[in-house]
Amino acid sequence: MEPLLQKVQFLKGVGPRRSECLARLGIADVFDLFWHIPRAYFDQSQVKAISGLVPAEKASIVGRVVAVDTRRTRRQPVFRALLQDDSGTLPAVWFNQAFLSRLIQPGHSLFLSGRLGSYGGQPVFYVSEYEVLEEENQALRILPVYPLTSGLTQKAMRALVSQALQERLVYYPEIFDSAVRDRCQLCDINYAFYNIHFPSSPEACQKARRRLALEELFLFHYELWQRRQADRVNGVSHRARSGLVKRIVDSLPFGLTKAQQRVLNLILRDMESTQPMNRLLQGDVGAGKTIVALLAMAQAVDSGCQAAMMVPTDILAKQHFQALKQFLEPHGVIAACLRGATGAAERQQIVQSLAEGSLDVLVGTHALLQEDINFKELGLVVIDEQHRFGVKQRARLGVKGPNPDLLIMTATPIPRTLALTLYGDLDLAVIDELPPGRKPVKTRVVAENKRKQVYSWLRDKLLSQPGTQAYIICPLVEESEDQDLKAAQTLFDELRQGILQELPVGMLHGRLRPGQKDQVMEDFKEGRIKALVATTVVEVGVDVPSATIMVVEHAERFGLSQLHQLRGRVGRGSRQSFCLLLSNPRTEEAWRRLQAMERSSDGFYLAKEDLAIRGPGEILGFKQHGINQFKAADLLEDRELIELSLELAKSYEPDSLIMNEYFERKFVKPEDVSFN
């Protein structure tokens, strides 16, 4: 093991200066060097002739540089190299990379990847990757292309990796025994590292990546599973005493969907076990997660225990409390709501009733975490919109009872691959069906220069269709000097004094006092406000079925999951609803988000699109926290490996040698990730 721990500074050809360059890439020792996996490969056997290129098709070419020049445009410099092969000549183009004039000269042989297009009316090759071919590279059919930093070249990195592999790979421990490798069709670790860096063929490279991806996923899930096993303790069996859940279901003004019934059965089965429940409940916007959670709380109460529900906002807490009163109180369940706006006398009464056991269910915000909030016998904890709470906050509520069951809910759809990675220690349940009668929200992206037409259309709809209401969403409360955005306060003043002056317009944002928020929402729910100008404070949980129109200002500034959550505030009744995304997208990523919103109302489809657009690093919080990402695993594509990793984590015990502090320090750990 010791040779793997050696600092790269002491490898041949690496001194203090180059080690500083490597450190910027996160490479401190030989182990890091092995896991510095190429970001691309140049396969010199898959080269097209210049004359055989097809417009817009990704391709690779090899040619000799005949001439170079750099042209200045108003926006950016353009570097051009005229490339020649046996079939013809073609200019290759790089934008905003004038420094290439020092690196690429006439007479050089280049390997280029990119696409054939046109520039200034002439055919050109837009370059995405390039390599200056040298003598020693001619023998390599497939060249690795590494992430680099200033002061390092591909040639230097390849030489360093090759040296480390030859001298140190023999010391790298084999985590999987031969039986596991045979069963899972895995190559050995030596083959994997050689062929991820210097593959003998594309097939060998894929075998190597699969092995290394499973290795790092396994180490992540193994630690997650060991922690879950260590935390396993006996809990309370929540068996029904009076059939309360069935009575409530029979009295509902609507029937449960098949998906709701299936998930409810899973939860009730978990609660009847003496093993504490740890379950993640996923469901798209409007799928009916809340009623399932209320029925789970009723089961806890029917078994003689209490239940708590923690939510992120005052508005959502009040809404859930109203649902509790509507569906549970007629059956004798006593509930209370604890928020920041709760008065001192009412709060004292709640604290006393909770400790005495005369209060069955408490719903609230972070206020539930305060030290004087004590339950007589807490049997179930429900966390809604869990990603808004930290792990420590959830744990602080869980210790207020004797190993209570835990139900975590999210209306933010998570692709199964991410859910299995992020919540591998929880049992998953998905409500994948919407209540009958719901119509997909018609969504359109509208250019910002059409704002006047949009609000004229909105006014006509609100005036001509009694009972119709609308949300108007802004990203800011007040105008900002450094951001050219339409703020809620400014837009509110413009609309009520201008195009919507015939209609009652309200405003809701996070800076209002709790009592003011409650009054605005009450007026909106009762129809006294026809158009509500709001920030994202309405993103979660607000349920006004008569609101059928949403206009989102500067929609390109919102993330895809946030846009989907916002859109979920309309379309909650049987009438056709509309969502208009006013935007001026300036990036390809923004266009892709908005187009995805137009294409689909399916949250799980949009979650996959979000993963494809942003990548798992941003979604799982890697980039923000600056930690190591998964090096070989692809959380978008590797569902089979993720599920195999979970299975191995539960059934396979590796040699303890590989589970020491060294490996724990190097691989991604469960506490390193959080869903954004």
Instruction: pLDDT band for 341, please (50, 70, 90 cuts).
Output: confident
Looking at residue 664, its pLDDT comes to 65
| pLDDT for res 398 | 62
Q: What is the mean pLDDT of residues 427-440?
A: 81
Minimal CA–CA distance to 196: which of 175, 169, 218, 221?
169
Confidence at residue 392, expressed as pLDDT on a 0 to 100 scale: 52
Q: What is the pLDDT of residues 648-675, one digit of tens each?
A: 988 898 876 666 666 666 777 666 665 5
Q: What is the mean pLDDT of residues 141-169?
A: 88
CB 555 within 8 A of CB 582: yes
The arithmetic mean of pLDDT across residues 183-192, rounded, is 96
Share of the chain above pLDDT 90, in %: 39
Residue range 33-43: average pLDDT? 89
- pLDDT averaged over the chain? 85
Q: Is the model more confident about 571 or about 480?
A: 571
pLDDT band per the 50, 70, 90 thresholds, residue 337: very high
Least confident range from 140-144, 421-425, 541-545, 561-565: namely 421-425
pLDDT band at 588 (very low <50, low <70, confident <90, very high): confident
pLDDT value, residue 539: 65
| CA–CA–CA angle 402, 403, 409 (5° rounding) | 130
pTM of the model: 0.67
Cα dihedral across residues 438, 444, 449, 450: positive or negative: negative
> In this predicted structure, what is the pLDDT of residue 4?
86
Do the beta carbons of residue 343 and residue 351 sit within 8 Å? Answer: no
Predicted local distance difference test score (pLDDT) of residue 8: 87
Q: Are 104 and 92 in contact (CB under 8 A)?
A: no
Query: What does the pLDDT read at residue 196?
Result: 97
- State the average pLDDT over residues 360-385: 88
Res 625 pLDDT > 70: no
pLDDT at 278: 84
Question: Residue 627: what pLDDT?
Answer: 42
For residue 74, the model assigns a pLDDT of 66
What was the pLDDT predicted at 624?
A: 46
Q: Which pLDDT score is estimated for 30?
A: 92
Residue 349 has pLDDT above 60, yes or no: yes
* Averaged pLDDT for residues 589-593: 86
Q: What are phi and psi of 176, to 5 degrees?
A: -105, 130
Specify the pLDDT at position 626: 40
